[in-house]
Amino acid sequence: MSVLIQHGTVVNAGGSVKADVLIEGERIVAVAAGLDPAGHTVVDATGLLVMPGGIDVHTHLDMPFGGTTSADDYFTGTRAAAVGGTTTVFDFALQSHGHTLGDALTVWRGKAAGKACIDYGLHMAITDLNPHGGSEHETLREMDAMVAEGITTFKLFMAYPNVLMIDDGLMFRVMQHAAELKALCLIHAENGAAIDVIVAQALAEGKTAPHFHALTRSTQAEAEATHRAIALAEMAGASVYIVHLSNTDSLRELKAAQARGLKALAETCTQYLVLSLEEQMPGKSFDEAKYVFTPPLRSKTNHAPLWEALADGSLSVVSTDHCPFRFEDQKALGKDDFTKIPNGGPGIENRLQLLWHYGVNAGLLTPERFVELTSSAPAKIFGLPQKGQIAAGFDADVLLWNPNAEYTISAATQAMNTDYSMFEGWTVKGNASKVYSRGKLIVDEGRFVGEAGYGRFLRTEANAGGMA
């Protein structure tokens, strides 16, 4: 089985070139102009860009949260990812209180088994250092076992007290041990304790509508935690990666740390680049629950600095934090109280379309930087040396991108399992034409032709986020 992709423009983070791409089995075996088509299935990519498939490093599939479960499982979620040009996801396995990391791994591998349509890695969220009540910090020892299993990234929540949040001491212990293991610490940075006080005060004043979710979680609450996480990581000698950085105040903390040479990286997510408090959450109706996620939408003034940070390298990755809930029966849980609206939004399918349209078409990102942000940097930071590049020897995760295809986003036609889209009716220019996962065609002109269970669990390398 060999496929020759002819006459396209190969776009890698390091540059673009007109070249043919030869795939044999699961790998790319040659990238060069004028490859001999004899004996190969030929695909004409005239006018198309040939890019490494997207890597979305922040998703929540089939996740119990906010009294319900996220609406995409590993089948519908990875199918939607694929339709949008993403060929690898990293999902979060969550340790529950009283249970081990091993338990969480078993549960999450079980959720993916027979369902994942594309390759997937896992981050492990640590919530309990002593699940059996001892004093020996059993979980720290278990981190070694996780690294041996190919899980080299640990997530720590500074928000959601009594659910997922751990305190600074525990966070520091995990960071110290992560440094020894060259593991990367991923941080949800928000001051959960202060936010809880502000939320209680808002509810006491009868402020129950969805937009109060945003108004009770300030940019300072995120910036403070961003600063604290980076400071603790510096003390521990650990590499740190701030997830879903949403605003300029947090960005200032990140840039200050990077200017001092600290091992601090961050991602932002599509929604923080194109949606805003003013546009989506004016405080008019319960419909705004569709945009309740954490960190919340910010004022529009944050957009330009985030785009600049993507272009200048301060931000390394764009992910989605895909955590979908249906409006009718899930978001509705919070009709009378915004704290009961399950937090999260659907976005796994639209990341590349939106970043291309509002980034590349708008002249804010080059196509090469687009590839770096959506695929190459994620592969490097998260320890996948076989992915993120169109070159001989790499996995044949290949995206044929049509920069001229116009596409209108709508819940009626999307692959994601939600009854709404955060980008309903938006027309973007630039869309996936064909998508290959390890050499297998899985999407053909918007039609999913892959299969449940094809995706493999990816063991990642511990490389301290590429900063060791």
Residue numbers of the site for Zn ion (CB under 5 A)? Answer: 132, 188, 321
By the 8 A CB rule, do 216 and 202 touch? yes
The binder of 288, among ligand URP, Zn ion, none, by C-beta within 5 to 8 A per type, is: none
Residue placing its CB nearer to ligand URP in the complex, 190 or 395: 190
Helix (H) or strand (E) holding 78: helix 74-83
Residue placing its CB nearer to ligand URP in the complex, 347 or 383: 347
Residues that bind ligand URP in the complex, under the rule CB under 6 A: 60, 188, 293-294, 321, 323, 343-344
Residue placing its CB nearer to ligand URP in the complex, 95 or 437: 95
The binder of 293, among ligand URP, Zn ion, none, by C-beta within 5 to 8 A per type, is: ligand URP
The binder of 241, among Zn ion, ligand URP, none, by C-beta within 5 to 8 A per type, is: none
Residue nearest to Zn ion (CB): 188
Token pair in block for residue 315: 């931000």
The binder of 210, among Zn ion, ligand URP, none, by C-beta within 5 to 8 A per type, is: none
**What is the maximal distance between C-alpha atoms in the chain?**
74
The binder of 274, among Zn ion, ligand URP, none, by C-beta within 5 to 8 A per type, is: none
What is the closest distance, in whole angstroms, from the C-beta atom of residue 295 to ligand URP in the complex?
Answer: 7
By the 8 A CB rule, do 119 and 149 touch? no
Rounded CA-CA distance 70/40 in Å is 42
- To the nearest 10°, the Cα dihedral for 285, 290, 291, 294? 120
Residue placing its CB nearer to ligand URP in the complex, 293 or 394: 293
Buried/exposed 35-72: b ≥16 CB within 10 Å, e otherwise? beeeebeebebeebbbbbbbbbbbbbbbbebbeebbbb
What is the closest distance, in whole angstroms, from the C-beta atom of residue 294 to ligand URP in the complex?
Answer: 4
What is the closest distance, in whole angstroms, from the C-beta atom of residue 157 to ligand URP in the complex?
Answer: 7
The binder of 437, among Zn ion, ligand URP, none, by C-beta within 5 to 8 A per type, is: none
By the 8 A CB rule, do 462 and 236 touch? no
Rounded CA-CA distance 135/25 in Å is 50
What is the closest distance, in whole angstroms, from the C-beta atom of residue 346 to ligand URP in the complex?
Answer: 11
Burial class (CB in 10 A: 0-12, 13-18, 19+), 332: middle
Spell out the residues 6+ positions from residue 156 whose beta carbon is closer than 8 angstroms to its own: 125, 126, 166, 171, 174, 185, 186, 187, 188, 229
Residue placing its CB nearer to ligand URP in the complex, 222 or 372: 222
Residue placing its CB nearer to ligand URP in the complex, 316 or 319: 319
What is the closest distance, in whole angstroms, from the C-beta atom of residue 322 to ligand URP in the complex?
Answer: 9
What is the closest distance, in whole angstroms, from the C-beta atom of residue 296 to ligand URP in the complex?
Answer: 8
Other Cβ atoms within 10 Å of 110 Cβ, number:
12
Nearest to 5 by CA among 51, 58, 60: 51
The binder of 132, among ligand URP, Zn ion, none, by C-beta within 5 to 8 A per type, is: Zn ion
Helix (H) or strand (E) holding 101: helix 101-112
Residue placing its CB nearer to ligand URP in the complex, 95 or 343: 343
Residue placing its CB nearer to Zn ion in the complex, 343 or 433: 343
What is the closest distance, in whole angstroms, from the C-beta atom of residue 120 to ligand URP in the complex?
Answer: 17
Rounded CA-CA distance 235/176 in Å is 8
Residue placing its CB nearer to Zn ion in the complex, 163 or 452: 163
What is the closest distance, in whole angstroms, from the C-beta atom of residue 315 to ligand URP in the complex?
Answer: 17
The binder of 344, among Zn ion, ligand URP, none, by C-beta within 5 to 8 A per type, is: ligand URP
